[in-house]
Structure 1
Amino acid sequence: MSKKIYVIAGEASGDLYGSQLVSAANKINPNIIWQGWGGEKLKTEKVNIDVRYEDANFMGFIEVAKNILKILSLFRLTKKNIIAFKPDAILLIDYPGFNLRMAKWAKNRNIPVYFFIAPQVWAWKESRVETIRNCITKLFIILPFEKKYFEDHHVKAFYFGHPLMNIIQNRIQDTNFKSSQNFTNKPILALLPGSRLQEIEIMLPVFLEAAKQKSNYQIAIAGLIQHKHVYEKWCHKLSVDCHIIFNNTYSLLQIADLALVTSGTATLETGLFGVPQIVCYKGNALSYQIAKRLIKVKYISLVNLIMDKQIVPELIQDDMNSTRILEEILKLEQANYKSDMQTNYKFLHQKLYFPDTFERIAQELLKDI
């Protein structure tokens, strides 16, 4: 019997994780009809995309405020699309600011709501726990320490490991990647400036300023094809000779010797590939000051948060400059420092690995639909 599920993935990581979950669900029930928000990866899994995540990807308090009319318009459009689609359930993936509002609305219409990748209420906006408790049918978490947190707040949470572990372990390695991209035998410094246009414009120039002073490395940018003009603009402007690798970050991490990484999912991906990294973040000054007062965690990188200690260096806001980056690169070039980081990466693997993560989530998701 065919079932209909509406999915909302408002970010690149949600598109990635969502596509894997949809694929696993379709193997259990090939008759599911999917519609909703996403990108190319969800589209490949036969999800009928009615809103592309790239059109709704706003970062920071100020940026959200500037785009509030567009966001409200997307709420109206999404509600209209859901009403027309008449789904048996809604699957919300991360993207909490928007998705928790949709959860409240769906609850009032008696539509079951499943949330994959819990809002980070342990870091800020703890008041959202009440919405999760009252409006979410099932909550699927991806960080090991979240289970106890939610149970302490009377929310049942399902943990089947971190999905990245399965994605990375199951990928087919491109053994010819290094030669096909014309890399030499010099060490490779990978730059991961983020996926959002506004963060790339902030992070990439600083990364390039630091990287161009390390002539002993080949420089490679992990990029998205839709932002091609931005990478080329900054490489030309700063006179940096770079390899730009589009939509293939994992193949780049597979051969990288060191990475400069914008805070986000990429920090965990880099750690799981065992690449020594420097985590960086710089945002709108006002947004940062607001966040600093509201967010109550010790670290910004997922690697450090999961391990509950500093494994990788973090350069935040004013500290995120080429001088400080170069200082940290020098440290990472010391064998002991680098070796300690990679040893801790092995413990990170142990904390996050469960077999068949997506299959287990899919089974639990479809149990009641």
Structure 2
Amino acid sequence: MSERPVRIGMVAGEISGDILGVGLIKELRRRYPNAIFEGIGGPLMIEEGFKTHVPMERLSVMGLVEVLGRLFELIGIRRKIRQYFLENRPDVFIGIDAPDFTLGLEESLRKSGIKTAHYVSPSVWAWRQKRVFKIARAVDLMLTLFPFEARFYKDHKVPVAFVGHPLADMIPLESPQVLAREKLGLLSTPIGPSQNVVALLPGSRSGEIHYLGEIFIETAKFMLSQNPDVKFLLPYVNEDRKQQIEEIMQRLGPELPITLIKGQSRDVMAASNVILLASGTATLEAMLLKRPMVVAYRMSAITFFIMKRLMKAPYIALPNLLANKALVPELIQAQASPQNLGKSLLQRLAKNSENEALNNEFIQIHQTLKQDASDKAAIAVSRLIDHDAN
């Protein structure tokens, strides 16, 4: 434990980054009780004493084309944060995910002599692999969540530490379905303890719901036409997203048995028999909860055209990437139709023996990622700080 005052700059760009950030702040504060944490962060980080200079949601933009509409605002925010940290120099600056925003900031700060770390590797191993050279210029240390990422950076001589994933530490190896339903207050509803339930997670951002919301509602309609006993749970992150979802439901299926639940997406997934979700961190969470899933993703035609030509990895879903094989279905763009998604979900509701084998695969991956990640990340960052001080 160090009593010296330490200033730690951080930028997190979305909800998953906020979760990682708050875990790291807690562990670093154990080592540096007088530390100042500031930059851009979300509500969890703020509750832990983090000072955010810009609301985190201003950085939450998806897709190449969608970023263009906010480009000047994002450039302005980065310039403002860069200038602040040049005038109020931190002992270390940590970019948490959001690589298109944070890596350029890290490179600039590092050139001025500020130590930099990046928490969560961009998908450089999957597409735009030449970015690794920019990363080498931008960071003193890369903190990776997954072991295959660490191997990639070692091969390219970039300082790296595999720390595991905090979600693997937080989520137990077993997540009983009935307990989750009880926590959500569903045992006294038509859902009860044994009803077949499908969790629908079209994403937490407006753009994701724009592309997937209607398809997910239409998928529910298709499934009900094949199995009238299925019920659905759909979590939402805030009132704006709830309103967006309700407008779609009112238009396409006001009679559908879909229960909207504020927050608690992890409990919603744990309460389900199978999950339909957008590609992203939620697929990792679903895997750690040991639930069968179908992964869908849609984006603008231009973004998809560009991504398809740059993509090097064979999969987009994290369970598949971690296993290096197709554990869960991935349906992208036109493939992500209500009929395709619905048929795949119904198959997974019925295949108990295959789901048991899938569960065993998920347990093995969970154990690999369970590394006490926040503590490991804090140890690696503190070495940067203390090395500079010595």
Output the TM-score relative to the length of structure 2: 0.90
Residue number in structure 1 paired with 2:215: 206
Q: Aligned pair 1:294/2:305, yes or no?
A: no
What is the SS of the residue equivalent to 1:15? helix
Q: Aligned pair 1:145/2:148, yes or no?
A: yes
What does the per-residue CA deviation read over 1:245-285, in whole Å, with 9 as the maximum and x for residues that have no partner?
22211111221111101000001100110111000001111
Shift of 1:81: 2.7
Residue number in structure 1 paired with 2:243: 229
Residue number in structure 1 paired with 2:351: 334
**How large is the Cα RMSD of the aligned pairs?**
1.9
Q: Using the alignment, how far apart are the partners of 2:90 and 2:188 within structure 1? A: 48
Q: Aligned pair 1:97/2:100, yes or no?
A: yes
Shift of 1:310: 0.2
The share of aligned pairs that are identical, in percent, is 28
Q: Flag structure 2 segments of 5+ consecutive residues without an equivalent.
A: 386-390
Shift of 1:224: 0.4
**Would you say how many aligned residue pairs link Structure 1 and Structure 2?**
368
What does the per-residue CA deviation read over 1:69-104, in whole Å, with 9 as the maximum and x for residues that have no partner?
112111222123323433221111111111110011
Q: Using the alignment, how far apart are the partners of 1:301 and 1:54 within structure 2? A: 24
The runs of at least 4 aligned residues of structure 1 exceeding 3 Å deviation read 169-176, 180-183
Residue number in structure 1 paired with 2:185: 179
Q: Using the alignment, how far apart are the partners of 1:17 and 1:162 within structure 2? A: 9
Amino acid in the other structure paired with 2:229: N
Shift of 1:180: 5.8
Q: Aligned pair 1:44/2:63, yes or no?
A: no
Contact map agreement 1:235 1:241 (CA 8 A) in 2: no
What does the per-residue CA deviation read over 1:25-55, in whole Å, with 9 as the maximum and x for residues that have no partner?
1122211101111211111111011122211
What is the SS of the residue equivalent to 2:199? strand
Residue 137 to residue 205, structure 1, CA distance change in 2 (3 Å): same
Residue number in structure 2 paired with 1:248: 264
Output the TM-score relative to the length of structure 1: 0.95
Residue number in structure 2 paired with 1:56: 59
Shift of 1:152: 0.9
What is the SS of the residue equivalent to 2:108? helix
What is the SS of the residue equivalent to 1:139? strand
Shift of 1:197: 0.6
Contact map agreement 2:126 2:312 (CA 8 A) in 1: yes
Residue number in structure 1 paired with 2:388: none
Q: Aligned pair 1:282/2:288, yes or no?
A: no
Amino acid in the other structure paired with 1:125: R
Q: Using the alignment, how far apart are the partners of 2:203 and 2:347 within structure 1? A: 24
Q: Aligned pair 1:158/2:178, yes or no?
A: no
Q: Out of 320, 323, 327, which is 2:336 matched to?
A: 320
Q: Using the alignment, how far apart are the partners of 2:145 and 2:325 within structure 1? A: 19
